Amino acid sequence: MNMLQWILTGLYVLLILSVFTVILVDKGDSGRKFAWLLIIAVLPVVGLALYLMFGINYRHHWIFNRRHQRYRDIFEAGTTPELNRILFGHSNEERIREEFRPLAKLLGAENYPSVTSGNDIEIITSGQRKFDLLREDILAAKESIHIEYFHFGNDKGSKAIKRLLMQKAREGVKVRFLYENIANFPIASAYYNAMRKAGVEIVKFTNPRMHLLDFATKLNYRNHRKIVVIDGKIGYTGGMNINDHYFRLWRDTHTRITGNAVAVLQYTFLDSWLTGGGTIDKEMIEFYPMAKKPVTEPSHPVTEPVEVTAQGSLTLNNVASTNSAKGKADSAAVEIDFHATHPTLKDKLVQIVPDEPDLPLPILQLSYEWALQHAKKYIYLQTPYFVPTEPVMDALKTAALCGVDVRLMLPEVADNILMRPANRAYYEEALQAGVRIFLRQGEFIHAKTFVCDDYLSSIGSANLDFRSFAINYEVNSYIYDEETALMNKGIFLYDLHQCRELTLEEWNRRPWYSRLLESLMRLFAPLL
């Protein structure tokens, strides 16, 4: 071996040792660190390249802080005292039930976002219902339509929304369309070119044309949000993307909101839009009509018939319902058919909480930990992907062991081949602690919700997994209200009809090869 080879070998070994040191001193989840150490040890060259692109936590990196400075400067130049009060005022926290005020303060760390009042909410549990409402709101738009989606499909329902956006752009409505480029990479660019020709402004969230360092360091950070803001007055957010899976095939939960909470959705969208390279043509305050005068939006009628079963006629005043999965009565909420049109809930306290890589804390993860740690009676959770971080897993087990009724609803079969064993890798640990697991059969459940103690509800885009808590751009809505909580609880109870409860005895009978695969996936689950 000549001198050059010795030098290169020495540098390579030094690089590997340096990366190992960086991983070991990282304050992140230990499971995630171990997975990366294993990959680099087994596949040093490939593993090192993957770690540099996907493994380093760039939460505090200058590239993310730089992304947002442009928007902050524009916002500060155009803000008003009333807008600051809505977004950052925190004056409504005293209206929250006392035991839940610490959560509102936690979610509002760094003075944003505040709890907003005067919000009317429709909880949407039917994809067709969301499609109908969104179509009507788009058609009624007068000034602006802002759309931010993780996935915007190339199927029948998506094309229908696309045509509406193009129509409104031709009519002179300012349509701004922000999409996650990596998630939508299979869709040909011509699909978006037609929208541009019609006048729709389009921004890609992760643009391959960025310089190499910028692209490599941002590639792993998906924009998983689902946000629509129309005329600054109507907001949509939740778990539903725009494609036929959600319109017809999957079970998901979304919200339509009017009121001051829309200001936070608008703020979140414009932040992503401007820092992603988009432009605006108005003074900042013009995007926030609620900061100029009170806005009351009437709820939309159903534009097309939606099938409603007999359960849909029940009201929240009813006190008895049957939990088919357990066979006993539940006096706290009725079962509410998720296919039904749910009534608009008036004047609610809502906290819209965006989470993203440049925030100093994983705020959504902390909110799940807090809710689990402080639940007194029950907490019911729905998620399609169950790959929890260590703190969340510990909080789940602790709550169950303390006697809290912890129920976790998951799909019977995951929508991709890797997630099924990854989800299953955590079942045994949860079941041993007393967490009740319900596996939904039939429609794939994509909802990301929880409801706690007949008061706190959360509906959003964040899954119960590493990626949502540490890497993705997400947004969840937190509603502090008994009526809303009972509605969400009723929806959960109705969903149980499509579930079977998994028991520890059944789980212990699974074959050895399943155990082996789950153990293997447990090692790498934090990287999915």
More confident residue, 220 or 352: 352
Cβ atoms of 60 and 360 within 8 Å: the answer is: yes
In this structure, the answer to whether residues 51 and 67 fall within a common structural domain is no
In this structure, the answer to whether residues 237 and 113 fall within a common structural domain is yes
Integer-rounded Cα Rg, in Å, for the chain is: 23
CB burial string 303-337: b at 16+ within 10 A, e below: eeeeeeeebbebebeeeebebebeeeebeebbbbb
- Domain interval for residue 44: 3-55
Q: What is the pLDDT of residues 156-198, one digit of tens each?
A: 888 999 999 999 999 999 999 998 877 676 677 778 889 999 9
pLDDT mean across residues, the chain: 81
In this structure, the answer to whether residues 426 and 329 fall within a common structural domain is yes
Cβ atoms of 144 and 232 within 8 Å: the answer is: yes
**What confidence tier does 51 reach under pLDDT thresholds 50, 70, 90?**
low
Across the strands, what pairs with 323? 328
pLDDT at 517: 72
pLDDT at 304: 38
What tokens appear for 396 in the block? Answer: 């789940």
The candidate with the shortest Cα–Cα distance to 312, out of 105, 118, 103, 129, is 129
In this structure, the answer to whether residues 101 and 9 fall within a common structural domain is no
Across the strands, what pairs with 141? none
Name the domain count of the chain. Answer: 2
Measured CA to CA in angstroms, residue 257 lies from 174, 240, 297, 299 at distances of: 21, 15, 9, 10
In this structure, the answer to whether residues 168 and 186 fall within a common structural domain is yes
Q: Is the pLDDT of residue 340 over 70?
A: yes
Provide the CA 193 distance to its chain's centre, in angstroms. Answer: 28
pLDDT at 471: 81
What tokens appear for 483 in the block? Answer: 């009526």
pLDDT at 5: 66
Q: Which of 34, 55, 76 is the last residue of a domain?
A: 55
Considering 141-145, 316-320, 414-418, the range whose residues carry the highest mean pLDDT is: 141-145
Mean pLDDT lowest among 43-47, 140-144, 446-450? 43-47
The candidate with the shortest Cα–Cα distance to 403, out of 368, 434, 373, 431, is 434
Q: Is the pLDDT of residue 264 over 90?
A: yes
pLDDT at 324: 38
What pairing do the DSSP bridges indicate for beta strands 449-452 and 499-502? unpaired
Q: Is the pLDDT of residue 307 over 50?
A: no
Q: What is the pLDDT of residues 282-303, one digit of tens each?
A: 888 899 999 886 544 444 443 3
Q: Is the pLDDT of residue 466 over 90?
A: no
pTM for this entry: 0.82
In this structure, the answer to whether residues 36 and 178 fall within a common structural domain is no
What tokens appear for 405 in the block? Answer: 């009724």
Q: Which of 29, 55, 81 is the last residue of a domain?
A: 55
Cβ atoms of 267 and 87 within 8 Å: the answer is: yes
Q: Which of 39, 55, 71 is the last residue of a domain?
A: 55
Q: What is the pLDDT of residues 268-281, one digit of tens each?
A: 999 889 877 888 88
CB burial string 271-299: b at 16+ within 10 A, e below: bbbbbbebebeeebeebbbbbeeebebee
CATH number at residue 108: 3.30.870.10
Alpha carbons 513 and 504: distance in angstroms, whole number: 18
Q: What is the pLDDT of residues 106-149, one digit of tens each?
A: 998 866 789 999 999 999 999 899 999 999 999 999 999 999 99
67: left (phi over 0), alpha (psi -120 to 50) or beta: alpha
pLDDT at 413: 85
> 239: buried, middle or exposed (CB in 10 Å: 19+, 13-18, 0-12)?
buried
Cβ atoms of 254 and 237 within 8 Å: the answer is: yes
What tokens appear for 16 in the block? Answer: 């590997």
What's the CA angle centered on 246, arms 346 and 300, to 5 degrees? Answer: 30
Alpha carbons 290 and 262: distance in angstroms, whole number: 9
Mean pLDDT lowest among 19-33, 62-76, 145-159, 362-376? 19-33
Q: Is the pLDDT of residue 495 over 70?
A: yes
**Rounded average pLDDT over 502-516:** 87
Q: Is the pLDDT of residue 58 over 60?
A: no
Q: What is the pLDDT of residues 217-245, one digit of tens each?
A: 556 677 899 999 999 999 999 999 988 87
Handedness of CA 509, 513, 519, 525 (dihedral sign): negative
In this structure, the answer to whether residues 138 and 15 fall within a common structural domain is no
**What confidence tier does 319 reach under pLDDT thresholds 50, 70, 90?**
very low
The total of other beta-carbon atoms located within 10 Å of residue 358's CB is 18
Alpha carbons 136 and 300: distance in angstroms, whole number: 8
Task: Match 């705020």 to its residue by tokens.
Answer: 363
Please confirm whether the linkage preceding 294 is cis (ω < 30° from 0): no
In this structure, the answer to whether residues 48 and 70 fall within a common structural domain is no
DSSP 29-94: -HHHHHHHHHHHHHSHHHHHHHIIIIIS--TT-HHHHHHHHHHHHHHHHH--HHHHHHHH--TTGG
Considering 19-23, 178-182, 232-236, 519-523, the range whose residues carry the highest mean pLDDT is: 232-236
Nearby residues of 160 by Cβ (< 8 Å), 6 or more positions away: 131, 135
In this structure, the answer to whether residues 284 and 385 fall within a common structural domain is yes
Which of helix, strand or coil describes residue 318? coil
Alpha carbons 141 and 144: distance in angstroms, whole number: 7
Q: Is the pLDDT of residue 320 over 50?
A: no
How many helices (H) and strands (E) in the chain? 20, 19
The candidate with the shortest Cα–Cα distance to 268, out of 112, 481, 35, is 112
In this structure, the answer to whether residues 42 and 117 fall within a common structural domain is no
Q: Is the pLDDT of residue 9 over 90?
A: no
Handedness of CA 344, 345, 346, 351 (dihedral sign): negative
In this structure, the answer to whether residues 254 and 276 fall within a common structural domain is yes
Q: Can you give 445-466 as a three-state secondary structure string?
A: ECCCEEEECCCEEEEECCCEEH
In this structure, the answer to whether residues 468 and 322 fall within a common structural domain is yes
The candidate with the shortest Cα–Cα distance to 484, out of 336, 339, 331, is 336
Q: Is the pLDDT of residue 409 over 50?
A: yes
